[in-house]
A = this chain, B = another copy of it.
Amino acid sequence: MRTPRREVLVDITSEVDAALAELDSSHSGMVHVFVPHTTAGVTINEGADPSVATDLIDILARLIPREGGYRHAEGNSDAHSKTSLVGTHLTVPVAKGSLKLGTWQSIYLAEFDGPRNRRVWVELG
């Protein structure tokens, strides 16, 4: 997947659900979502109002500025740290091949150093 800009949350709930249905459309238990990157993570938050995602990006940018006298020479230490704070893996309940999320929950790829091509690994847990 291509992320559209440097810092953005991309709602991937339907992609995860589709991957899950392809793996086993009758699975009940858990699904594991893993992002194999170090400047992008995965998180669950509200999907109804997109301003929730924008506020989260803004709050993290205020807490961890892009320029901060960091040692890592690639200029993305902020992105690495944000990734460790939101995390790179989720385990989510599944019932009969479908994600069992709360009413307002969506799964977001959390991009902190895009735009880039990103992978998300979805496996039965």
Give A contacts to B, CB under 8 Å: 29-30, 32, 34-38, 43-46, 49, 51-52, 54-56, 58-60, 63-64, 68, 70-74, 77-78, 80-81, 83-93, 100-105, 110, 119, 121, 123, 125
Check A71–B51 contact: CB distance below 8 A. Answer: yes
Task: Give the complex CA separation of A89 and B93 in angstroms.
Answer: 10
* Chain B residues positioned under 8 Å from A60 (CB to CB): 81
List 27 A–B pairs whose Cβ atoms lie within 8 Å, in order of A's numbering: A30-B32, A32-B93, A34-B92, A34-B93, A37-B102, A38-B46, A38-B102, A44-B84, A45-B80, A45-B83, A45-B84, A51-B70, A51-B71, A51-B72, A55-B71, A55-B77, A56-B80, A56-B81, A58-B70, A59-B70, A60-B81, A84-B110, A85-B85, A88-B105, A89-B92, A93-B123, A100-B121
Instruction: Return the contact of A84 from the options B56, B72, B89 (Cβ within 8 A).
Output: B56
